[in-house]
Amino acid sequence: MPDRYDRQRSSRDSGQRGDARDRRGSDYSRASSDYGRREQREPQRNYRDPRRYGSETSGRPASYSHEGRSSDQRAVRENRSASARYAGDSRYGERSAQDYRSSRTRSAEGDRHARPRNPRPERTDYPDDQRRYRGASEGRRAYGEQLQQGQRRYSRDEAQRRQAREASRYGQQAGSRQPQRQRSAYSQEAFDPRANLQGGRRINTSGVPGGRAGRGPRMAGGMQPQYNFDIADAFQLGKYVLVGIVALIIVIFVVRGIYLASPADYTVAGQQVSLARGTTYQGLLDSGELDAAPGNLVAVDDEVLQEGGGKQPTVYLNGEPVDLNSRISDQGDITAENGEDEIEPYSATQEITPITTQLDQANNFNFYNGVLHVVTDPGQEGITETRTGETTGRTATVKVQDMKPRHIENLEASIPSGKKLVALTFDDGPNPAEGGTQEILDVLAKYNVKATFFMLGSQAEEFPDMARKVANAGHQVATHSYSHDEKHYLNQTTEEDVIYQIGTARKVVGEATGTDPAYIRPPGGNIDAKAIMAADTLADGYIGWSIDTLDYTLPGSDSIARTVLSEVEPGSVVLMHDGGGDRSQTAAALDEAIPKLQEEGYTLVTIDELVQAILAERTGSQQGQEGQASQATQGSEQTSDGNADEDSGNEGEGSEQDA
């Protein structure tokens, strides 16, 4: 034995052992990757064999037996057996494993050909139980091979189970044209993970195909078998569904047709008529149950060109027009009226007749007899057309719209009961000086009151910013002519000057304030019927006053306030001034009078709001009077009918007595 060991040592000295060690390390890295990963997870243990290095105790330690070995020692022995297997000689397996571990360490450090750091001490003898130890090494090698085979088999089976799960999930199975049970690698037999230790065989625990004691196949991972359909199956199912839908539609249409063909009773022009439920209003007209005909097609001179060529009759259900193509309803009375005639296509030229002004009591007009001389009916233009027919070529003159004059009348201040309305008005502005328009605006804003400002055209043209402030504050803007001097008083000047004074003031004030001032207060109240007819449509109202505070005489703020509070009544129009001088007394009087008026229940409004309230009250009273008149007329008719019935009854009785 020493000679053989010496020969091995001499081969190492010659360099052959280093080459063999490199080949063994490379082969081992490729063949046992699982053991390499395990060595990375678990650190190397420096297990010293007492048989090789000597120990106080003889033989293998107790932990080396199969019964008491630990996991760490088992890993070391598996590595040794694998190293011995690839070394080619089991006698030197332990030394080869030691060299392999050293080569792994050197390889990680970048030096594969370095000699071991801690060379193994030389041995001079071998233990007597070397044969027995070599047998144990071979057994462990066989165990490692069996474990590797089981792991490879388990990986392959796991891939098959994953493939089976994917096939079950997406419902596709290769080579299948009809729905059938999904089969996998474990559908026929049960899988026992412990079977890897027995050669990797699957054990059928039930003895019946399926592996579940006759309960049918079970898929991998505990999944139940699924039924999957391919394209042909989907088309087949879709065909059945389509046939069912078509059959259902046919049944619905048949039932609907039977229902619409069934008769029902309808009220037509007050008579009960039996008609099919599916009858339309047009069909009702065609059947003659409704006595209505379409209009005719006529020429521009009203000559009939085609009977029935005009508009269709209009059918009503409970007084409301309906669509002729809709089905008739049994929820009310059905009536109709003849269609209108339709004129042939034509070209036309129009002639417009302007609106004229009609003044109430023009011959006896007196501006001071009222306060609100306003337009109550705006009237309308007259339109006359000369038409030329495109079909017949005939020409005719047709009056399309009659001219209606606008009506100006004196409104009496008939305020609705329970409403106490008062209008504050200011003349001669705008006045930008101290104690002028701005001071009055501040007092009105203090009490949240809106008023009407009658501005001079010349003042608004000179002070447009102040005029704009009045409009922006929400007050009503009106005019006070343009010049405001005696030679231009509207009842003392020419018609041309009347038009200039009213028209120019409306234009200038409107441009300055961004409004359309339709009302005017004649300077000094000087206007007559002639001036109103001359102005025509340049003004929609001529506003006077019912309370003159004489504030322009500067009587003092107490006097001005006392005048307002003593003479006020519902519908009053108060005259004051914001221009023409210092109006501090007027502003102070307002600050005194406004809160007292509000305490008495008065609402301060603009002229336009006052006019609308009076017109609304008059319209309501007229409607009430018309209603009372109609009720009286109906009552008289019923009385006359009753008397007629009584007379006829008396005549019958008399005839019977005579007989």
Catalytic residues: 427, 577
Quote the CA–CA distance of 578 and 551 in Å, as a whole number: 10
Pairing of strands 314-317, 320-321: antiparallel
Q: Calculate the dihedral angle through the C-alpha atoms of 32, 35, 41, 45, rounding to the nearest 10 degrees.
A: -130
Nearest of 607, 635, 640 to residue 478 by alpha carbon: 607
Locus of tokens 């002519």: 481
Cβ partners under 8 Å of residue 485, min gap 6: 523
Handedness of CA 544, 545, 546, 550 (dihedral sign): negative
AA letter at 16: Q
Quote the CA–CA distance of 477 and 519 in Å, as a whole number: 8
Locus of tokens 């340049």: 538
**C-alpha distances in angstroms, 612 versus 44, 282, 319, 539, 543?**
109, 48, 33, 17, 14
Burial class (CB in 10 A: 0-12, 13-18, 19+), 597: buried
Beta bridge partners of 280: 327
Pairing of strands 395-401, 382-389: antiparallel
DSSP annotation string for 202-227: ---SSSSTTSSTTS----GGGPPP-B
SS (H, E, C) 95-121: HHHHHHHHHHHHHHCCCCCCCCCCCCC
Quote the CA–CA distance of 218 and 215 in Å, as a whole number: 9
Quote the CA–CA distance of 292 and 324 in Å, as a whole number: 13
